[in-house]
Amino acid sequence: MPDFRGVKQCLILREIVCHERKGNSMGATSTVILKVETPDYGKVTIEASDGLRYFADLTSFSKVYCYPKTKELWSQLSVDSYGRALVWTTRFEAHIDQIIGLAFKTEKVQKSA
């Protein structure tokens, strides 16, 4: 008799993931990055189109081979053409959902008059 325990666990996990999915529904706008700062090595601060500022520590990605190895390299980044990711000159990328997920602090962006 075949052992389907692993398959059952995988299907259960898949069901949980499918039902737990959160995000924009069709027709809703996606959050984009409007501004970025690198206050310290390994950390970014972004202002997003949802009206929030996110402070994130990305050092959990430091084992990735293209992760910037110095503070100077860390500051050499730009927002991708879609506004959905940060791209460093080392070719390391962090997508907005990763940045939001790793945010240790959020605050409302003050609108200028």
Asked if residue 67 belongs to a domain, the reply is yes
Range of the domain at 73: 33-108
- b/e sequence 70-97, b meaning 16+ C-beta within 10 Å: eeeebeebebeeeeebbebebebbbebe
pTM of the model: 0.74
pLDDT along the chain (113 residues), means of 10: 44 37 63 96 97 97 96 97 96 96 95 67
| 14 within some domain | no
The number of distinct structural domains making up the chain is 1
Residue-level pLDDT at 111: 74
- Give yes or no for a contact between 102 and 58, defined as CB atoms under 8 angstroms apart: yes
CATH number of the structural domain spanning residue 95: 3.30.2020
Residue 10 falls within a domain, yes or no?
no
List pLDDT tens digits, range 36-62: 999 999 999 999 999 999 999 999 999
